[in-house]
Each structure stands twice: as C-alpha cells, then as structure tokens.
Structure 1
C-alpha cells in the first residue's frame, strides 16, 4: 500500500460553521473590549474635566468672595480652556439654576456633581463632562473584521493540524489492516486467500451514487472541483478500508476452515497407522506368539509414516517461525542434479520413462545441501512417477539467478488447480492426484537409500511435499513456480540466488 501524504483541509459544513462561529465570537470579543476601553477612557476624561472646572470655580469664589461676574468670566475663559463636546455648569449652594454654564448643559447634567469648597465650607457645586457622540470610530469595526478573518484562518489551520494528528494513527491502522489483508499465507487455500478485486461499490456509481461516481468526473459543473476531489478521496479511503476488512474477514474464515481441516487430516493420518499397530500388537499379546518378520515390517512401515508426518509438520512449523536451520556451504549443484538423475533415472527406465539432464556448464551454489537435495528429489520423483515417456531437467544461470526446470510429458494439471498446488494439506482433484502435484516430501536420507520411503510410490498423501519444498526454496531466498497444460505435461521451475564466494 502506498503511503498517503497529509491532505489539505476538506472539512464538512459543520466544521465550516464552527469556524465561522469562532470568528464571529472573536470579532464580538474585540468590539466588546474596544467598547470597554473607550468607555474607560471617557470616564477618565470626564473625571479630569470635573476636577479642573471644580478647582476653577473654587479659586474664583475665593478670589471674588462670591459668584458675581462668573458667567462673563467663564464665557471668556471657555474659549481658552474649553474643548469641542465638553460642557460645564456651576450652581450656587441651594440654587436651582446654574449661575454660569458653558457648552451643552444636557451633557453637563448627565455627569455627577462635585462640591465647591471655600474656607472649609460648601458654597456650591459643579458638573463637567465631555460628549464625543460615538465611543467607537470607523477603525474598530474594520479591525474587528480583520480579527474575524485571522481567527477563521487560524481555526482552519488548527483544525487541519488536528485532523492530521488524528489521521496519522488512522492511516497506520488502515495500512496494517490492508497489509494484513494483502498478505498471503501458505496455510490453506491460497487461491481463496488471494486478495479479491475491489467491487464496484468501492469505486464507481456504488460509491458516489449514480452520476456522482466515475461518470461525474467529466461534469465539473455539478460540484466545485476541490470539494468533489475531497469527497472522492474520503469515500475512496473508506471504501479501501472496508474492502481490506472484507478480505481480512474472508481470510480469517478460510484460515479457520483450514485449521479445522488440518487437525482432522492429521488425526486421520495418525489414527490409521496407530490402529494397525495396536491391532497387531494386541493380537500378539493375546496369542502369546512372537510376531513374524512380515508383520514386523508392516509395523515398521506404519511407524515410519508417523515419524515422517511428525517430521514434516515440525519442518513447516520451523519455517513458519523463521527458525528453519540451514547448514550453508558451497557445492556443485550441477553434480548434485547429475547424481539425482542417475539414481532415479535408472529406476525410471524400467517403467519406460527416460530422464534427460541438460546442464551446459558447472553451477556452484551456496546453500543447505540436504534441503536442496530434498527439493529436487521430490520434484524429480513426482515427474518420473507421472511422466509418460520423458522427463527433462535443465539447469543454468539466467537473469542473474540459478534456474532449474523439471518438465514431464504427463497428463498435466488443470489450470484452476495450479494456484493451490503449494498449499499445505491440499491434495486437489483428480488431475492433481494423477500428476502427483501435491505429493509428500521424502525424508532427509531418502536419496541416499535410493527411495523415498515405504510409501514413496503411493499416490496421494497428506499434501505436504510441495509445501515443504516451497518453504525450503523460500528459506534460501528463491522462488518455485509451476506451469502446466492439460494433456501436455507439467513444468516446475526453481530459481535460486547466485552468491559470490567470500
């Protein structure tokens, strides 16, 4: 799965409304703060004016001994000390009307009165205030719009960062699910476990609904292109995650089925030899007679089958856990193939099958000699067993790798059986049984003894041979593949890496 980069903001309508609400709140808060500041400044100015004109009235009374002539003097001094929008009024003690006033009386009347003191007694009071009309001028609303815009941009940026922080773990989780869903397991039916193609509901009219699916890409007038692309990405992510979960669910179901089948197969394979051995031993114990050599040989064969099954399962378990021991060494693969062909070919000639080796030059390989030998003994034994007249073994270096192909002219394997041929415990249909495609793996000493064990020429088996061969090849960093045409024959191809001697 390709790693997605962080996507730009593509929020829903609710996210945009939240951003607009935050911007409106920020603008309102700014205007409120501006009003409070302007009101505070107005109160400070009123207090300054009240103190100034109260001191003016007090000094006039002390200097003149009364309020006579204050109106004329205040009118003259107002031009020097008064300002636009300001007002002042002076009342004598107990008088209902001011003895002197300047500016707007109504403005002055709205302010609080301050007593005029002279010689320690109250001789009147003054009121002074400034009237500016509006507390805010035209700059504050403009600044409020700027604050709203900055808040909205900051909201979008913060929301985008939040989405990205949340998206990263979701992407990692989706990636793990998809990788798990795409992983192939050699246990069970690999054809059934292969990732399925996405359904039309993931991409197409099922994902977007009719004209808003793939066909809508050519109609940019329906939605804005950016919003359309964002919605397509969101739906695509959801569809991919759902498809991956579907594949994972199917794989787990298949693996559970394989597990149950495997347990049943192993129990069946063990039950038969154990039953045979127990029956013969019980009969010998009851009769008191010693077992004849023929029956001892039968018991030996059954014990061999059980030990072989246990050994094969142990090898698979080690391979699964990555702990398959390999005793690596340099040896001649061409000499090994020649020895295998010579040994197995001699027995094949009695059945009318000719085995031919084509290896133009020496091929050296760094590998586990015993396990590589088991692989080719298994493949060549299957080919000889089911070839009609000829089996061809070719070896050489191609495209920087060692390639060994074993081809027979048997009846072949049907195409639908090929993907599952290397599955464990898969014995397939009649074509696989006829071609020996899923035969069991010979033991480590099978080649030295010239046979693959007591049941080496029996058809069928547990279906572990090719699975083990594949694990051995994979453990060496190689690959194994099969191709076949029904009625014409089968070709197994093993490719192993070429390593340079140290």
Structure 2
C-alpha cells in the first residue's frame, strides 16, 4: 500500500537534505586532505631555505584548504539536492498536471475521458473526485438536453390543437362559438400550467424554493387536503379515509406541504378505479413525521418505483385522465427535500396498489 502524501513529502524533503549533506561531507572529506597537502607543498616550494612551517602557517594552510573544500562540497551538495528535488517535484506534479488538464477539458464542456489514478492515495482521491464531477456534469447535460426534448413534446399537443382551432376559425370551418372558445381556453390553460410547473420544477431542483417556514401541524394539513378533495373522490365513487395522530408538529411551509399532499392524493385518485379505497395516514415516529397515501389502484412495477419521480415519466399502464404536465411528483420531492425531508414510493406490484410517503423532520420541542 502506498504511503500517505504528507509522509511521502516529508520523506522526499528529508532525502534531499540528507543527500545534499552527504555529498557535501564526502566532498570535504576527500578533498580537504589533498588540498591541505597541496598547500603545504606550495609553502615549502616558496620558502626552500626555511625550516618546518610554523603553527600560524599550518593554520593558514588548513583554513585555506578547508574553505576551498567546503565551497566545492557545498556546490556539489546543492547540485545533487537540486537534481533530486526536481525529480521528486516532477513525480508529484505529473498527476496534478493530469488533473489540471481534465478540469480545463471539463470547463470546455467535454466530459469524456477519466483522469488516471496515481499511486498516492490523496492524489488518487482528488482524481476520483474530478472524475465524479465530470460524470455528474455529463449526466446533468444529458438531462438538460432530454428536458428540452420533453418540454417540446409536452408543448406540441396543445400548440397543435390551438393551431388547428385558429386555422379552422380563419378558414370558416369553425365558428367563434362558446364551445370553440372554451376549447381554445382549455389548451391555453394547459400551456399556462405547464409553464408554471416548469418554473416550480426549476426552483425545486435548484433549491431556490421560496419557503415560508412556520410551526404547523402535519396532521391538520393532511386532514385539510383530504377534505378539499373529498368531493372529487365521491364523484369517482372512491372511499377516502384519514387515520392520523392528534398532532404531528413540524416546521414547514403549509402552502408547499399542502401542494405536495394534494399531488399525492390527486395521483391516488387517478390511479384507483371506482369502488377502491385511498387511505391517508399521518404519524410521528422518532425524529420525523410522515404522511402515507395508500391506494388500491393500478400499482407500480419495481423498475417504476423511482422512475415515477423523473420529469414527464408515466409508468406503463397508468391512466392519463389528467391535464397535468407530468412533473408533479418531481416537484413534490423537491419541495420535501427543501424541507429536509423526502417523498418515497412503494408498491407490491402492478395491480396491487401503491403507497407514497411524505417524510418531514419533527419540530424539536421548545
């Protein structure tokens, strides 16, 4: 297993210092005696008639030889340390250069090609993070491109209908009767709802929701949402029941949470045939409160449980009796996550009903 980067840096710096000192020592050790002998010989040649050198002369010769040896040894040590430091630096910068190249490529909009993983664990972790970022940006770009196509597809139907009505009015095929104008108004409302939903979706996914958080009761919000939709359930010949704790205190935006609950109840209404049952359960458990909307409707296959939260996704076999834009669950999950909670789905299988659960953190006791 490779050593950690701090240890490797410490070892490399220590090696540079040791090599420099060793080269300097060996140079002085090998060169100083020779220079000293050479200096003493020069003094004897300069003064052939004199006797043995005095102490001052020996001291001067030794100092001169030592200074020269130290100068040469220091230069040799610095040179050797510089070479070793350059090698160590190059080895360290090579993976960093690869990361820099990858980040420039990502900034230019090219997300292909992973950064090779170096042997150092810290640099390998950095390269892994850059690769993860590139993959996430590539996925985001793919989803953005897909969103444009999905929005164009969703807008095509009402625009085609509007174009047909307008051409019919121009050609005299249709008359400007209340029924024709009502059809035009319905298609325009559908486009308006799509625009509003896309705006909410954008804010939810970018965590820019305008939340007005207050202390509220999740049970009360669930009961109010169910009461508001009770006439529609009665018209569809469905049984709507509410089973809730007396109080489930949360700190949330009541309007936004009501929007989530209304969406879950509306989906259950559309997914359940006449004679079926939809049950709303509100409970507080541990540190979280939850509202579960359970229906006896068409259910979900295992591969659809998460996909139903994708934009414009409709599970195979799901009835399309609504003029909705197909992003309601995506927005609902975004709102819940903006509160620190979530919306999840579960189902035993197709034809066996489904449950959607809104989870929010409980309000801490004051």
For 2:288, the equivalent position in structure 1 comes to: 401
> Is the contact made by 1:112 and 1:127 (CA closer than 8 Å) also made in structure 2?
no
The partner residue of 1:366 within 230, 251, 258 is 251
For 1:224, the equivalent position in structure 2 comes to: none
Q: Does the C-alpha gap of structure 1 residues 16 and 312 become closer, same or farther in structure 2, counting only changes over 3 Å?
A: same
The partner residue of 1:485 within 340, 343, 348 is 348
Q: Does the C-alpha gap of structure 1 residues 423 and 36 become closer, same or farther in structure 2, counting only changes over 3 Å?
A: farther
The reply to whether residue 338 of structure 1 matches residue 218 of structure 2 is no
> Is the contact made by 2:193 and 2:325 (CA closer than 8 Å) also made in structure 1?
no
The partner residue of 1:430 within 283, 301, 316 is 316
Q: What is the CA–CA distance in structure 1 between the aligned matches of 2:210 and 2:13, rounded to whole Å?
A: 58
Q: Does the C-alpha gap of structure 1 residues 239 and 326 become closer, same or farther in structure 2, counting only changes over 3 Å?
A: closer
> Is the contact made by 2:278 and 2:294 (CA closer than 8 Å) also made in structure 1?
yes
The partner residue of 1:458 within 319, 322, 334 is 322
Q: TM-score, normalised by structure 2?
A: 0.71
The partner residue of 2:267 within 371, 382, 405 is 382
Structure 1 position 410, deviation (Å): 2.5
Q: What is the CA–CA distance in structure 1 between the aligned matches of 2:13 and 2:364, rounded to whole Å?
A: 61
Moved more, 238-247 or 352-361: 238-247
Q: Report Cα offsets for 1:18-74 as digits up to 9, x if no partner.
A: 788645532243236634773587479x5xxxxxxxxxxxxxxxxxxxxxxxxxxxx
Q: What is the CA–CA distance in structure 1 between the aligned matches of 2:365 and 2:8, rounded to whole Å?
A: 56
Q: Report Cα offsets for 1:169-219 as digits up to 9, x if no partner.
A: 96xx79x99xx9xxxxxxxxxxxxxxxxxxxx99xxxxxxxxxxxxxxxxx
> Is the contact made by 2:222 and 2:291 (CA closer than 8 Å) also made in structure 1?
no
- Structure 1 residues not aligned, in runs of 5+: 47-109, 115-125, 181-200, 203-232, 437-456
> Is the contact made by 2:4 and 2:121 (CA closer than 8 Å) also made in structure 1?
no
Q: Does the C-alpha gap of structure 1 residues 501 and 303 become closer, same or farther in structure 2, counting only changes over 3 Å?
A: farther
Bigger relative contact order, structure 1 or 2, given CA contacts below 8 A and separation 6+?
2
Moved more, 28-37 or 380-389: 28-37
What's the secondary structure of 1:234's corresponding residue? coil
Compare CA radii of gyration and give the structure with the larger one: 1
Number of corresponding residues: 327
The reply to whether residue 418 of structure 1 matches residue 281 of structure 2 is no
Moved more, 326-335 or 489-498: 326-335
Structure 1 position 359, deviation (Å): 0.8
Structure 1 position 341, deviation (Å): 1.8
Structure 1 position 243, deviation (Å): 5.3
What's the secondary structure of 1:277's corresponding residue? helix
Q: Does the C-alpha gap of structure 1 residues 315 and 305 become closer, same or farther in structure 2, counting only changes over 3 Å?
A: same
Q: Report Cα offsets for 1:430-489 as digits up to 9, x if no partner.
A: 15x35x8xxxxxxxxxxxxxxxxxxxx328x54311110011112222222222221432
> Is the contact made by 1:113 and 1:127 (CA closer than 8 Å) also made in structure 2?
yes
Q: What is the CA–CA distance in structure 1 between the aligned matches of 2:136 and 2:293, rounded to whole Å?
A: 32
Structure 1 position 155, deviation (Å): 6.5
Q: Report Cα offsets for 1:284-314 as digits up to 9, x if no partner.
A: 2443986111111111111111111111111
Q: What is the CA–CA distance in structure 1 between the aligned matches of 2:326 and 2:190, rounded to whole Å?
A: 14
Q: TM-score, normalised by structure 1?
A: 0.53
Q: Report Cα offsets for 1:257-309 as digits up to 9, x if no partner.
A: 32222112212222332232233233324439861111111111111111111
The partner residue of 1:276 within 161, 164, 167 is 161
Q: What is the CA–CA distance in structure 1 between the aligned matches of 2:308 and 2:121, rounded to whole Å?
A: 35
Q: What is the CA–CA distance in structure 2 between the aligned matches of 1:353 and 1:465, rounded to whole Å?
A: 22
For 1:112, the equivalent position in structure 2 comes to: 46
What's the secondary structure of 1:324's corresponding residue? coil
> Is the contact made by 1:397 and 1:403 (CA closer than 8 Å) also made in structure 2?
yes
For 1:183, the equivalent position in structure 2 comes to: none
Q: What is the CA–CA distance in structure 2 between the aligned matches of 1:330 and 1:37, rounded to whole Å?
A: 90
Q: Report Cα offsets for 1:304-354 as digits up to 9, x if no partner.
A: 111111111111222344432123334443233223223323432443431
Map of 1:187-202 to 2, 5 A cutoff?
A: none
